[in-house]
Amino acid sequence: MKFFVDTAEIDAIAELNDLGMVDGVTTNPSLILKSGRDILEVTKEICDLVDGPVSAEVVALTADEMIAEGRKLAAIADNIAVKVPLTWDGLKTCKVLSGEGQMVNVTLCFSANQALLAAKAGATFISPFIGRLDDINIDGMELIADIRTIYDNYGFDTQILAASIRTVNHVTESARIGADVITAPPGVIKALASHPLTDKGLDAFMADWAKTGQKII
Ligand code: G3P
């Protein structure tokens, strides 16, 4: 399973990238706002830093304008994935840009039917939002499982990019179901390393080691 990091914060991306944990990056208008950076500048920096796909989202609402924005974003670097919303205009944009050989990430997906449409429109990635479904008492993981089944039934090669990941359990469940990619904030990716028994075990080893009076270096 590939790990994308869901942020436009360069330092956080660089830290995880140095560990080989970053297979790509996803951004959205809210994350650009949070970064305080210019979208074109920060996206270029991210593309230079990371080898994998970097999702940059259009903000127009009509297909013609989305296509123009998508082409401008795509010109930033070869590893751009143009991110479009799951609307009819977004699907039209997906069809046109994917037909030009451009990677497209269709975002704001909340149903299996929406995911089916995105695959038929040639999406490279479909982004179902787990956390936002959980927020309204709908099981986000069930959506990931449904999309996995449907894509496998028909051999769609659109990659399932599990998004709106808020917890380490969302990551585990996505991996168990067979999502192709997860995108998560840096804090969630770092939290994957944590376990209370690891901390407890390390404390005990340190205490015993101190009693030996030895040093390795
Ligand atoms: O990748 C989409 C993600 O940024 C949305 O996450 O937590 O705002 O629902 P969240």
Per-residue pLDDT of the chain (217 residues; tens, 9 = 90+): 999 999 999 999 999 999 999 999 999 999 999 999 999 999 999 999 999 999 999 999 999 999 999 999 999 999 999 999 999 999 999 999 999 999 999 999 999 999 999 999 999 999 999 999 999 999 999 999 999 999 999 999 999 999 999 999 999 999 999 999 999 999 999 999 999 999 999 999 999 999 999 999 9
Q: What's the gap in Å between 129 CA and the centre of ligand 1? A: 7
- The set of residues, in sequence order, having a beta carbon less than 8 Å from that of 62 and lying 6+ positions away, is 89
State which amino acid sits at residue 154.
Answer: Y
**Cα gap 174→181, rounded to integer Å:** 8
Q: What is the dihedral of CA 24, 3, 90, 59, to 10 degrees?
A: -60
**How far, CA to CA in Å, does 149 sit from each of 1, 91, 108, 130, 155?**
17, 21, 20, 17, 10
Q: What's the gap in Å between 107 CA and the centre of ligand 1? A: 10
In this structure, what token pair is assigned to residue 87?
């609307």
| 8 A C-beta contact, residue 67 and residue 96 | yes
Pick the closest to residue 158 from 61, 91, 76, 88 (CA basis). 91
Pick the closest to residue 147 from 165, 185, 174 (CA basis). 174
Query: Whose CA is closest to atom 10 on ligand 1?
Result: 164
* Catalytic-role residue among 72, 83, 120, 200: 83
**Cα gap 3→161, rounded to integer Å:** 9
Query: Is 83 assigned a catalytic role?
Result: yes
**How far, CA to CA in Å, does 73 sit from each of 56, 117, 142?**
7, 23, 33
Going by CATH, does the domain composed of 2-212 fall within 3.20.20.70? yes
Q: Which atom of ligand 1 is nearest to the CA of 31?
A: 4
Q: Which atom of ligand 1 is nearest to the CA of 132?
A: 9
Query: Whose CA is closest to atom 9 on ligand 1?
Result: 164
DSSP-assigned states of every residue in 148-208: HHHHHHHT---EEEEBS--SHHHHHHHHHHT-SEEEE-HHHHHHTT--HHHHHHHHHHHHH
| 8 A C-beta contact, residue 119 and residue 125 | no
Q: Which residues line ligand 1 (CB under 6 A)?
A: 6, 26, 28, 129, 131-132, 163-164, 166, 183
Residue 47's pLDDT is what?
Answer: 98
Q: What's the gap in Å between 130 CA and the centre of ligand 1? A: 9
Query: Whose CA is closest to atom 1 on ligand 1?
Result: 163
Residue 54's pLDDT is what?
Answer: 98
Predicted model pTM: 0.96
Residue 20 CA to its chain's centroid (Å): 16
